[in-house]
């Protein structure tokens, strides 16, 4: 995965497998009466094309003779930053319905802003600002966003 060539081989294999899975799933789509375009035709075509595309990607990368191009992956520190951000994001989304959008967003912002390099105070202030503006938006536009602990 260090060079674009090896990365293409890996992603090609993955795309090919995805295509095969889609094609297999498409086979079991039931046909309906009187259809001119069978219900399974397009999904099947997409699956097959995806698989072929992935395969060609692999073949093209293997037969590639040119200069190796490195993929610009992040360093350890960078990976850790992305990892923490993604985990924070997943937890944030997971608790949205429980805590409500304003509170969940506030905590998410208040944690992530200092982590990415600002002061804790900046994090808390941004968090509060976010929560208040989201709350006002939900309230005045009567949007059906979850309010969670803030109640309906």
By the rule CB under 8 A, 58 interacts with other proteins: no
By the rule CB under 8 A, 59 interacts with other proteins: no
Map residue 68 onto helix, strand or coil.
coil
Phi, psi of 70 (to 5 degrees): -75, 145
Closest separation in Å from C-beta 108 to other proteins: 7
By the rule CB under 8 A, 130 interacts with other proteins: yes
Site for other proteins in 90-119 (CB under 8 A): 90, 92-93, 96-97, 101, 105, 108-109, 112-118
69 DSSP β-pair partners: none
Closest separation in Å from C-beta 150 to other proteins: 16
Does residue 42 contact residue 109 with C-beta atoms inside 8 Å?
Answer: no
Cα–Cα distance between 56 and 50 in angstroms, integer? Answer: 10
Closest separation in Å from C-beta 56 to other proteins: 7
Cα–Cα distance between 108 and 42 in angstroms, integer? Answer: 41
Q: How many Cβ atoms from other residues are within 10 Å of residue 107's Cβ?
A: 16
By the rule CB under 8 A, 27 interacts with other proteins: no
By the rule CB under 8 A, 33 interacts with other proteins: no
Candidates 7, 91, 124, 150; binder of other proteins (CB under 8 A) is 7
């Amino acid at each position: 995965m260090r060079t674009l060539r090896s990365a293409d081989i890996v992603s090609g294999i993955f795309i090919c497998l995805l295509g095969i899975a889609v094609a297999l799933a498409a086979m079991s789509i039931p046909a309906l009466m009187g259809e001119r375009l069978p219900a399974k035709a397009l999904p099947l075509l997409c699956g097959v094309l995806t698989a072929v595309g992935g395969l060609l990607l692999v073949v093209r990368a293997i037969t590639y003779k040119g200069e190796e191009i490195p993929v610009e992956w992040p360093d350890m520190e960078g990976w850790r930053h992305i990892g923490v951000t993604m985990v924070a994001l997943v937890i944030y989304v997971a608790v949205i319905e429980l805590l409500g959008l304003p509170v969940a967003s506030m905590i998410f912002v208040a944690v992530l802003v200092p982590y990415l390099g600002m002061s804790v105070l900046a994090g808390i202030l941004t968090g509060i600002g976010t929560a208040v503006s989201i709350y006002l938006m939900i309230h005045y536009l009567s949007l059906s966003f979850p309010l969670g602990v803030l109640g309906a």
